[in-house]
Structure 1
């Protein structure tokens, strides 16, 4: 079995984790759409002391969205999860197209992340930005050379 560079393995793990989180988000959004009325009733009837406020705040984020927004967000998250999983698989097999795809998608996101940080810095925003810059630079520096077949 071929030994892969640590940086590449780290990126594949990061991309796989991101794809998993996106898929969980997509499923949650689509279930929220399916159970829209149930979530509203659950939110209204949840009465455990100390927890009701937290549950209400979390569910209000979903319940206050209209069903079209939930559907669009759910499908968008699912598509992005699939693309991210494809990136991870392509990188694992050290495919040139995967390097290009990740470089393009991460490169496009960096200016948006800078804008988000300017709007209001947070540890999460800064962490994601730094990880994406590191991924971009690693893949740029270690871009696979064109191989000719013999």
Structure 2
């Protein structure tokens, strides 16, 4: 059996990052589609909120819709497009990492490295479990790929 026929074993850390990036890409794609569909149905959602939700029947729906309706359609459109672009970039990162491409590692290191100071700023403004988890996961990804990149470069 030649070495080519043998199954390539990827490091567990890399597989975990690929799974994480794939999940994030999927969530971003869903968010993008939801936001862009919401723009098309903005008027209907507004009417629904005025007719049913404001009667006080469901507090959670009222809260969500009030946050949603406080945004203007242009902000929703921008957010939907941005989420879609970010979903594509994240999916490209996942595929590149799966095939162990150096450009993918560099792309993830750069994008996560750029986001880390912003995440620290968000934590300074107020700690929440989600912010903390995202920060720790992104820091772990950054350090893992940075050390792996340096190791393979030598």
Q: TM-score, normalised by structure 1?
A: 0.91
Cα offset for 1:125? 0.5
Cα deviations across residues 18-73 of structure 1 (Å, max 9, x unaligned)? 111111111111111010011112222336x9862211111122212111111001
Q: Alignment length, in residue pairs?
A: 146
For residues 93 and 50 of structure 1, what CA distance do their matches in structure 2 show?
52
4+ runs deviating over 6 angstroms: none
RMSD: 1.8
Can you give the 5+ residue segments of structure 2 that lack an aligned partner in the other structure?
Answer: 1-6
Match of 2:20 among 14, 17, 33: 14
Query: Which of 71, 80, 92 lines up with 1:86 in the alignment?
Result: 92
1:32·1:62 contact (CA, 8 Å) conserved in 2?
no
Matching residue of 1:36: 42
Note the residue ranges of structure 1 that are not aligned, 5 or more in a row.
Answer: none
Which is worse superposed, 37-46 or 8-17? Answer: 37-46
- Secondary structure at the aligned position of 1:65 is classed as coil
For 1:50 and 1:87, the matched residues in 2 are separated by: 45
